[in-house]
């Protein structure tokens, strides 16, 4: 005889665990009687990222956040290419969660490190990323630096930059 499927009794996949109901899910976030909370940095990451993207779009004068996204990636990658892995990870730790994820995405750590050069040359590098979809203005690095600084703790950001090569501080100068 076939039993009718009871959706509240069927297991609910949750990562490596299977939880049977909402109460079980709530209990799963407790450990030794203490609530294990998700850090605000992660719980509100998408809200902070959207605010950053709107700032990047508005500062750069682009029409959409989709257009601004390619510019953000280009600026982050251009900066990353000029750091050692150790310095890049130190820098990444000061970034909001989603921006940090973009910064380290698609990273070939075997790629040779480039030198910091003039802003015009580095901007051309930013503009060369996905060229057919790139709308980055000449002010791309400045615009992203300003948008980033609006959305992070600037004192902590400057403290992190103080450990990096001099070109790094100049790159993020507004």
Is 0.95 surpassed by the pTM of this model? no
The string of pLDDT tens digits covering residues 91-128 is 999 999 999 999 999 999 999 999 999 999 999 999 99
Bridge partners for 14 per DSSP: 17
Joined tokens for residue 58: 């508005």
In this structure, the number of other CB atoms found within 10 A of the CB of residue 117 comes to 12
The domains located in the chain, with CATH, are 1-37 (no CATH), 42-171 (1.10.490.110)
Joined tokens for residue 10: 């069927």
> What is the number of helices (H) and of strands (E) in the chain?
10, 4
The string of pLDDT tens digits covering residues 44-88 is 888 999 999 999 999 999 999 999 999 999 999 999 999 999 999
pLDDT at position 133: 87
Smallest CA-to-CA distance from 123 within 105, 135, 107 is with: 135
């Amino acid at each position: 005889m076939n039993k009718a499927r009871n959706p509240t009794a069927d297991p609910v996949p949750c990562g490596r665990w299977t939880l049977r109901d909402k109460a079980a899910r709530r209990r799963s976030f407790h450990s030794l009687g203490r609530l294990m909370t998700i850090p605000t940095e992660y719980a509100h990451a998408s809200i902070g990222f959207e605010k950053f993207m709107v700032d990047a779009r508005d500062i750069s004068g682009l029409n959409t956040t989709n257009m601004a996204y390619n510019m953000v990636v280009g600026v982050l990658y251009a900066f990353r290419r000029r750091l050692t892995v150790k310095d890049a990870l130190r820098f990444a730790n000061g970034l909001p969660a989603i921006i940090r994820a973009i910064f380290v995405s698609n990273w070939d750590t075997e790629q040779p490190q480039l030198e910091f050069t003039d802003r015009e040359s580095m901007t051309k590098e930013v503009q060369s990323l996905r060229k057919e979809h790139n709308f980055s203005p000449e002010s791309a690095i400045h615009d992203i630096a300003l948008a980033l600084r609006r959305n992070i703790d600037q004192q902590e950001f400057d403290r992190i930059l103080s450990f990096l090569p001099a070109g790094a501080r100049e790159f993020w100068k507004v």
